[in-house]
Amino acid sequence: MPRTNLPRTTLTANDHTAALAGLTIDATLVTNGCVINAADFERTVLLVENTGGDTKSVTVKAGNSTASYTATRGDLAAPVPGTGGQVFVGPFSSARFQQHGGALHVDFETGFTGTVTALQVPQHT
Alpha carbon 22 to its chain's center: 11
pLDDT in tens, 18-30: 878 899 999 999 9
Per DSSP, the three-state class of 70 is: coil
* Domain assignments of the chain as residue spans, ordered by start: 4-120
- Predicted confidence at residue 6, as pLDDT, reads 96
Per DSSP, the three-state class of 36 is: strand
**CATH number at 4-120:** 2.60.120
Distance CA 84, CA 48 (A): 10
The three-point CA angle 8-47-73 to 5° equals 95
Amino acid at 19: A
Q: Please compute the mean of the pLDDT values over residues 87-108 and round it to a whole number.
A: 96
- Predicted confidence at residue 63, as pLDDT, reads 94
> For the ranges 8-12, 22-26, 33-37, 54-58, which has the lowest average pLDDT?
8-12
Output phi, psi for 72, to 5 deg: -65, -15
Is the predicted pLDDT of residue 125 greater than 90, yes or no? no
Distance CA 51, CA 90 (A): 21
Distance CA 116, CA 28 (A): 14
| Confidence (pTM) | 0.93
Dihedral of CA atoms 86, 54, 25, 114 in degrees, nearest 10, equals -40
Q: Please compute the mean of the pLDDT values over residues 29-33 and round it to a whole number.
A: 96
